[in-house]
Amino acid sequence: MNYSLGQKAQHYLTQLAECSETENGVTRLPFTAQHQRAADLIKGWMCEAGLSISMDDAGTLIGRYNAGEGKPVLLMGSHQDSVKQGGGYDGIMGIVLGIVALQAIQQRGIRLPFSVEILAFADEEGVRFPTALLGPRALAGTLDLDVLNRTDSDGVSLTDALRGFGANPENIPKLKRSPDNILGFIETHIEQGPVLEHEGLPLGVVTAINGIERHTLTFTGQAAHAGTVPMHLRKDALAGAAAVILEAEKLAIRIPELLATVGQLNVSPNVVNAVPGSVTLSIELRSPNDAVREKAGEMLQSYALETAQLRDLECHIERTYSQNATLCDDGLQQAIAHAIAATGEKVFYLPSGATHDASAMADLTKVAMLFVRCRKGISHNPAEYASDEDMGKAVDALIVLLTNLNQ
Ligand SMILES: [Zn+2]
């Protein structure tokens, strides 16, 4: 059968989706039998692309196109693992599309002036062990080695899991690469959101991976009888929290680069006939612009304190987490934009709302990402889907990118 490149990618991904613990959706956790089966399939396709294959001691499968001794190397790839009952495209599609592009380059007899490594990282999602991004952090030299002692829900340590997979975790510090001679890291990934579909476009150039910060906020008032305490004598913690929730939404609608989400709310006593005495809520802010995000965080904190004062509530706020945005490299963004234009598609730029291997790779080298439209923006879900046509466009763009990349 004569497959188009997009059909070929789909065919590969269908086989990989079968390497799953669950029938419903894909559950492929790192260093499991399912991971091994997927790695074996990937190795076969890497061979067809003429790549030399190895696995490093962080469990990253590497397929290398060798342009010769001393030539610079372009790193590409993504993660093989999934969430529990996730989809068949998140991460793994980025590995497959890179391989299909290199197979086509090989078949067309094109010689690249630089080496290329396709990296199939073991663990991005952090589902099995309470840590993530093992492979890219090992390459960047940013891995906290203490995480190797962490255990999964069966009590198996990450060290033992790596050993069982044929890796030697003692060698992880030696995996740190020098950025010299690395051209950058390019990750192809499904968008995991609805923007490209809304725009009617198959591909997008990622400008940045959004920074994130999280706050935990507790309003304390006075729990009271809902029938006996008049409105002007209440200290309703939930009414105060509601004002902050709406302010967060208003702020994020007004500021173009900001996303704000209140996803968690604990109300006490949480009964139908009591004035809420205390409420704890989460506020999560994301933005490709760290200054915008941090300013918004401060504004919301001040708003919460003013609200508390106005309503005679106690307010405790803590910023519990923050992670800066990763900016994608301008030159690599341009190269991806040029490649998309060469496939006849409109060039569209968007930030990534989710974290990716590229964020950890940014500690080693310049990074860029190519996004592929996913149906209805659904991801981390068995319904996740990218079409043959869109993946074919992505492979075409990668071929242009690889054959035109200025070193
Ligand atoms: Zn992913």
- pLDDT mean over 95-114: 97
Q: How far is the CA of 391 from the centre of ligand 1 (A)?
A: 16
Q: How far is the CA of 124 from the centre of ligand 1 (A)?
A: 7
- Indicate if 388 and 398 belong to the same structural domain: yes
- pLDDT mean over 216-222: 98
- Indicate if 304 and 333 belong to the same structural domain: no
Residue pLDDT, tens place only, 226-269? 999 999 999 999 999 999 999 999 999 999 999 999 999 999 99
- Indicate if 164 and 93 belong to the same structural domain: yes
**Angstrom distance (rounded) from CA 50 to CA 63:** 9
Instruction: Count CA atoms within 13 Å of residue 88 on its CB side.
Output: 22
- Indicate if 246 and 168 belong to the same structural domain: no
Q: How far is the CA of 269 from the centre of ligand 1 (A)?
A: 39
- Indicate if 255 and 123 belong to the same structural domain: no
What is this structure's pTM? 0.92
Q: How far is the CA of 94 from the centre of ligand 1 (A)?
A: 9
**Angstrom distance (rounded) from CA 112 to CA 120:** 21
Q: How far is the CA of 28 from the centre of ligand 1 (A)?
A: 13
Q: How far is the CA of 276 from the centre of ligand 1 (A)?
A: 39
- Indicate if 380 and 367 belong to the same structural domain: yes
Q: How far is the CA of 80 from the centre of ligand 1 (A)?
A: 9
The whole-number pLDDT of residue 406 equals 74
Domain harbouring 223, CATH code: 3.30.70.360
Of 280, 308, 323, the last residue of a domain is 323
**Angstrom distance (rounded) from CA 60 to CA 303:** 46
Q: Which amino acid is at 6?
A: G
Residue pLDDT, tens place only, 280-312? 999 999 999 999 999 999 999 999 999 999 999
- Indicate if 314 and 345 belong to the same structural domain: no
Q: How far is the CA of 384 from the centre of ligand 1 (A)?
A: 12
Label each residue of the chain as H, E or C. CCCCHHHHHHHHHHHHHCCCCCCCCECCCCCCHHHHHHHHHHHHHHHHCCCEEEECCCCCEEEEECCCCCCCEEEEEEECCCCCCECCCCCHHHHHHHHHHHHHHHHCCCCCCCEEEEEEECCCCCCCCCCCCHHHHHHHCCCCHHHHHCECCCCCEHHHHHHHCCCCHHHHHHHCCCCCCEEEEEEEEECCCCHHHHHCCCEEEEEEECEEEEEEEEEECCCEECCCCCHHHCCCHHHHHHHHHHHHHHHHHHCCCCEEECCCEEEECCCCCEECCEEEEEEEEEECCHHHHHHHHHHHHHHHHHHHHHCCCEEEEEEEEEECCEECCHHHHHHHHHHHHHCCCCCCEEEECCCCHHHHHCCCCCEEEEEECCHHHCCCCCCCCCCHHHHHHHHHHHHHHHHHCCC
Q: How far is the CA of 380 from the centre of ligand 1 (A)?
A: 9
Task: Report how many domains make up the chain.
Answer: 2
Q: How far is the CA of 209 from the centre of ligand 1 (A)?
A: 12
Q: How far is the CA of 246 from the centre of ligand 1 (A)?
A: 31
Q: How far is the CA of 81 from the centre of ligand 1 (A)?
A: 8
Domain harbouring 89, CATH code: 3.40.630.10
Q: How far is the CA of 317 from the centre of ligand 1 (A)?
A: 31
Q: How far is the CA of 77 from the centre of ligand 1 (A)?
A: 11
Q: How far is the CA of 121 from the centre of ligand 1 (A)?
A: 10
Residue pLDDT, tens place only, 377-386? 999 999 999 9
Q: How far is the CA of 19 from the centre of ligand 1 (A)?
A: 17
Asked if residues 217 and 317 have their Cβ atoms less than 8 Å apart, the reply is yes
Q: How far is the CA of 188 from the centre of ligand 1 (A)?
A: 10
User: Which residues have their alpha-adjacent CB atom under 5 A from ion ligand 1?
Assistant: 90-91
The answer to whether residue 1 scores a pLDDT higher than 80 is: no
Q: How far is the CA of 356 from the centre of ligand 1 (A)?
A: 6
Q: How far is the CA of 254 from the centre of ligand 1 (A)?
A: 29
Average pLDDT, the chain: 97
- Indicate if 254 and 149 belong to the same structural domain: no
The whole-number pLDDT of residue 2 equals 56
Q: Are strands 182-190 and 73-79 parallel, antiparallel or unpaired?
A: parallel
- Indicate if 150 and 219 belong to the same structural domain: no
Q: How many CB atoms lie within 10 A of CB 168?
A: 12
**Rg of the Cα atoms in the chain:** 24
In angstroms, what CA-CA distances link 33 with 55, 79, 403? Answer: 16, 16, 36
- Indicate if 91 and 72 belong to the same structural domain: yes
The answer to whether residue 3 scores a pLDDT higher than 90 is: no
Asked if residues 150 and 31 have their Cβ atoms less than 8 Å apart, the reply is no
Q: How far is the CA of 223 from the centre of ligand 1 (A)?
A: 44
- Indicate if 29 and 167 belong to the same structural domain: yes
Residue pLDDT, tens place only, 119-171? 999 999 999 999 999 999 999 999 999 999 999 999 999 999 999 999 999 99
Asked if residues 13 and 93 have their Cβ atoms less than 8 Å apart, the reply is yes
Q: How far is the CA of 303 from the centre of ligand 1 (A)?
A: 35
Burial class (CB in 10 A: 0-12, 13-18, 19+), 232: exposed
Q: How far is the CA of 146 from the centre of ligand 1 (A)?
A: 24
Q: How far is the CA of 123 from the centre of ligand 1 (A)?
A: 10
Residue 167 belongs to domain spanning: 5-209+325-404
Of 323, 357, 374, the last residue of a domain is 323
**Angstrom distance (rounded) from CA 94 to CA 192:** 13
- Indicate if 190 and 60 belong to the same structural domain: yes
Of 267, 291, 323, the last residue of a domain is 323
